[in-house]
Amino acid sequence: MTEAPSPSWHEEIDARGILWLTFDRADATVNTLGSAVLEELEGIAGRLARQPPRGLVLRSGKASGFVLGADVKEFTTLRSVAEARALVQRGQRTLDALERLPCPTVALISGAALGGGLELALACRYRVALDDERLTLGLPEVLLGIHPGFGGTVRAVRTLGAPAALDLMLTGRNLRGKRTLDAGLVDRLCTTLTECEQAAREIIEHDPGARRPPWHLRLLSWAPLRPILRRQVTTAVARRVRPGHYPAPFAIIALWAAHGGKGAAAYAAEAESIAQLAATPTAHNLIRVFMLQDRLKAQGRGGTSVPGRVHVIGAGVMGADIAALCALRGLEVTLQDREQRFIDAALARLAEFFERRIRDPGKRAAARARRRGDRNGSGGSAADVLIEAIVEDADAKRALYAELETRMKPDAVLATNTSSIRLEELASALRMPQRLVGLHFFNPVSQMPLVEVIHTSTSSAEAIAAATALARKLDKLPLACRSSPGFLVNRVLLPYMQEAMYAAADGFSFDEIDAAATDYGMPVGPVELSDMVGLDVCRHVGGIVGVALGRALPDTAELDQRIAAGKLGRKSGEGFYRWEKGKALRGSDSRQPVPGVNRRPDARARADLEDRLLLALANECVAVLREGLVESADMIDAGMIFGAGYAPFRGGPLQAARQRGPAICEQRLRELAERYGPRFTPDAGWATVR
Q: Which residues are catalytic?
A: 440
- Using the rule CB under 6 A, which residue among 105, 180, 419, 655 binds ligand NAI? 419
* 3-state DSSP helix/strand/coil % of the chain, to nearest 5: 55, 15, 35
d(Cα 591, Cα 558) in Å, to the nearest integer? 10
| Least distance CB 53 / ligand NAI (angstroms) | 60
- Contact between 138 and 89 under an 8 Å Cβ cutoff? The reply is no
Which of 670-689 are b and which e, b meaning 16 or more Cβ less than 10 Å from the residue's Cβ?
A: eebeeebeebbebbebbeeb
Q: Whose Cβ is closer to ligand NAI: residue 29's or residue 447's?
A: 447
Q: Whose Cβ is closer to ligand NAI: residue 528's or residue 608's?
A: 528
Taking phi first (over 0 means left), then psi (-120 to 50 degrees means alpha), and beta for anything else, what does residue 677 get?
left
Residues of span 508-567 touching ligand NAI by CB under 6 A = 537
- Using the rule CB under 6 A, which residue among 105, 418, 468, 619 binds ligand NAI? 418
In the chain, the amino acid numbered 684 is: A
The yes or no reply on residue 15 touching ligand NAI (CB under 6 A) is: no
Binding residues for ligand NAI, rule CB under 6 A, total 25
Q: Whose Cβ is closer to ligand NAI: residue 64's or residue 378's?
A: 378
Q: Single out the residue of 109, 113, 7, 131 nearest to residue 58, CA to CA.
A: 109
Among 115-123, 222-230, 278-286, 412-420, which window interacts with ligand NAI (CB under 6 A)? Answer: 412-420
SS3 for 367-400, per residue? HHHHEEECCCCHHHHCCCEEEECCCCCHHHHHHH
Residues of span 372-391 touching ligand NAI by CB under 6 A = 389-391
| Least distance CB 443 / ligand NAI (angstroms) | 3
- Contact between 175 and 115 under an 8 Å Cβ cutoff? The reply is no
- Contact between 164 and 105 under an 8 Å Cβ cutoff? The reply is no
- Using the rule CB under 6 A, which residue among 165, 400, 471, 641 binds ligand NAI? 400
Q: Whose Cβ is closer to ligand NAI: residue 448's or residue 618's?
A: 448
Residues of span 72-131 touching ligand NAI by CB under 6 A = none
Binding mask 290-329 for ligand NAI (x = CB under 6 A): -----------------------xxxxxxx----------
Eight-class DSSP state of 250: H
The yes or no reply on residue 396 touching ligand NAI (CB under 6 A) is: yes
| Least distance CB 421 / ligand NAI (angstroms) | 7
- The three-state secondary structure class of 509 is coil
CB atoms within 10 A of CB 308: 14
| Least distance CB 312 / ligand NAI (angstroms) | 10
Which of 603-614 are b and which e, b meaning 16 or more Cβ less than 10 Å from the residue's Cβ?
A: eebeebbebbbb
Q: Whose Cβ is closer to ligand NAI: residue 419's or residue 498's?
A: 419
Q: Whose Cβ is closer to ligand NAI: residue 57's or residue 315's?
A: 315
| Least distance CB 498 / ligand NAI (angstroms) | 18
The yes or no reply on residue 392 touching ligand NAI (CB under 6 A) is: yes
Beta bridge partners of 450: 477
d(Cα 537, Cα 525) in Å, to the nearest integer? 17
- Contact between 44 and 13 under an 8 Å Cβ cutoff? The reply is no
d(Cα 134, Cα 111) in Å, to the nearest integer? 5
- Using the rule CB under 6 A, which residue among 342, 496, 579, 686 binds ligand NAI? 342
CB atoms within 10 A of CB 318: 21
- Contact between 451 and 509 under an 8 Å Cβ cutoff? The reply is no
| Least distance CB 344 / ligand NAI (angstroms) | 11
Q: How many CA atoms lie within 13 A of 529 on its CB side?
A: 23
| Least distance CB 559 / ligand NAI (angstroms) | 17
Taking phi first (over 0 means left), then psi (-120 to 50 degrees means alpha), and beta for anything else, what does residue 204 get?
alpha
The yes or no reply on residue 174 touching ligand NAI (CB under 6 A) is: no
Q: Whose Cβ is closer to ligand NAI: residue 143's or residue 493's?
A: 493
- Using the rule CB under 6 A, which residue among 31, 159, 334, 417 binds ligand NAI? 417
Per DSSP bridges, beta strands 18-23 and 9-13 are antiparallel
d(Cα 315, Cα 338) in Å, to the nearest integer? 9
| Least distance CB 326 / ligand NAI (angstroms) | 15
Q: Whose Cβ is closer to ligand NAI: residue 319's or residue 485's?
A: 319
Q: Whose Cβ is closer to ligand NAI: residue 15's or residue 391's?
A: 391
| Least distance CB 287 / ligand NAI (angstroms) | 30
Binding mask 434-473 for ligand NAI (x = CB under 6 A): -------xxx------------------------------
Nearest-CB residue for ligand NAI: 316
Contact footprint for ligand NAI (CB under 6 A): 313-319, 336-339, 342, 389-392, 396, 400, 417-419, 441-443, 537
